[in-house]
Amino acid sequence: MTKSLAIVVPVFNEGSAIVDNVRAIMAAARRIPDSTVSMLLVDDGSTDGSTETLRRLCGAGEGFHLLRLTRNFGKEAAITAGLRAAGGFDAAIVMDADLQHPPELLAEMVRRWREGYDVVEACKASRGPESRLRGRLVRAYVAAFRVLTGMDIRNQSDFKLLDRRVVAAYGRLPERERFFRGLVNWMDFSTARLTFDVPATGKRGSSWSSLRLLRYAVTSMVAFTSFPLHLITVLGVVTLAVSVVFGGIALMDKICGRAIDGFTTVILLLLFIGSTLMISLGFIGIYISRIYNEVKRRPAYIIDGERSIMPETARE
Ligand code: UDP
Ligand code: MG
């Protein structure tokens, strides 16, 4: 039976290569048997003229559709906007615009989905070009994420096929700040995994600055674990135990008239406790800001001009 597929591609300042890239994706997608394919390009507030290029492409009626966000809301928001717009399709596939997610995999992903899996994930067999430091940090983060949240996001990417049930469930999740990989994992629909090598097409490497990546890392971690908050309590208990011991000793010394000249100890303790308190407050602050952001209930993105897209089969 013919199935309708939506390919959701977030686009942010991809330059002139974007047209060739999405055409290459589309060409591969059209070779998938028994399916009609539409591509939804979510322009995440590009400022480099990509918007005009995309508008021209989408006007040509080759199955490309444009969803433009009013400004740069970030990849996560773009993915959410795209998936919410693609609810009418039998399945949606999320992939990058820079061909780092190989289009040749599409047919296999769809085949696995047709076997009955709700989610088909493409995992990275290798990570492509990136600095050694960044690679190390990412690995350390993934390991910490696994220990703290019990979720294994090793080698995961945002290249995923989602059945319409999953797309609907994802759209219904109320939270504003999202971590696509983690949430798909958390929803725990039946999942098939494929692997791919990240090709070295990266025209300019990643568009994520280190600071942005760090913020993303913190948001994702905070979204899935409140361990840092509990850690503060544990730290408090440990500090209390230590203070009881030292307090006892100090008191004994005082009583026996042996009170020593402990200036250095006092300074060290002060510094230690002071910095522990500051860090603890910082942890609490991160969670409070997160709560504040969610409580504001501001949408995660604003669409520039409302539009919905439907599978071609549904329109006929
Ligand atoms: N992207 C986006 N909004 C952003 C940053 C990136 O929509 O603020 C898109 C970008 O156009 C690309 C995908 O997200 O399609 C992945 O971005 P990039 O290749 O820069 O990151 P990588 O995952 O390769 O490090
Ligand atoms: Mg990339």
Q: Domain with 92 in it: what CATH number?
A: 3.90.550.10
Amino acid 269: pLDDT: 86
Nearest to 169 by CA among 83, 272, 48, 82: 83
What is the widest separation between alpha-carbon atoms in the chain? 96
Q: How distant, in Å, are the alpha carbons of 22, 222, 278 from that of 164? A: 22, 28, 46
Judgement on whether residues 103 and 25 belong to the same structural domain of the protein: yes
Judgement on whether residues 139 and 189 belong to the same structural domain of the protein: yes
Query: What's the domain range around 186?
Result: 3-209+298-315
Judgement on whether residues 31 and 170 belong to the same structural domain of the protein: yes
In a domain, 132, yes or no: yes
Judgement on whether residues 26 and 72 belong to the same structural domain of the protein: yes
In a domain, 48, yes or no: yes
Q: How far apart are CA 85 and CA 163, in angstroms?
A: 14
Looking at the structure of the chain, the number of domains it has is 2
User: Using a 6 Å cutoff on CB, does residue 98 contact ligand 1?
Assistant: yes
**Which of 18, 96, 134 is the best mutation target for the ligand 1 pocket, counting ligand atoms within 8 Å of the beta carbon and taking the most?**
96
Q: Closest Cα to atom 19, ligand 1: which residue?
A: 206
Amino acid 199: pLDDT: 83
Q: What is the distance in A from the centroid of ligand 2 to the CA of 106?
A: 18
Amino acid 316: pLDDT: 40
User: Using a 6 Å cutoff on CB, does residue 118 contact ligand 1?
Assistant: no
Residue 298: both structure tokens together: 């501001």
User: Using a 6 Å cutoff on CB, does residue 265 contact ligand 1?
Assistant: no
142 in Cβ contact with 148 (< 8 Å): no
Length of the chain: 316
Q: What is the distance in A from the centroid of ligand 2 to the CA of 273?
A: 43
In a domain, 221, yes or no: no
Q: What is the distance in A from the centroid of ligand 1 to the CA of 136?
A: 20
Judgement on whether residues 118 and 246 belong to the same structural domain of the protein: no
Q: Which ligand is nearest to the CA of 159?
A: 1
Regions in the chain scoring below 50 on pLDDT: 315-316
Q: Which ligand is nearest to the CA of 180?
A: 1
Judgement on whether residues 268 and 302 belong to the same structural domain of the protein: no
pTM equals: 0.87
Q: Which ligand is nearest to the CA of 206?
A: 1
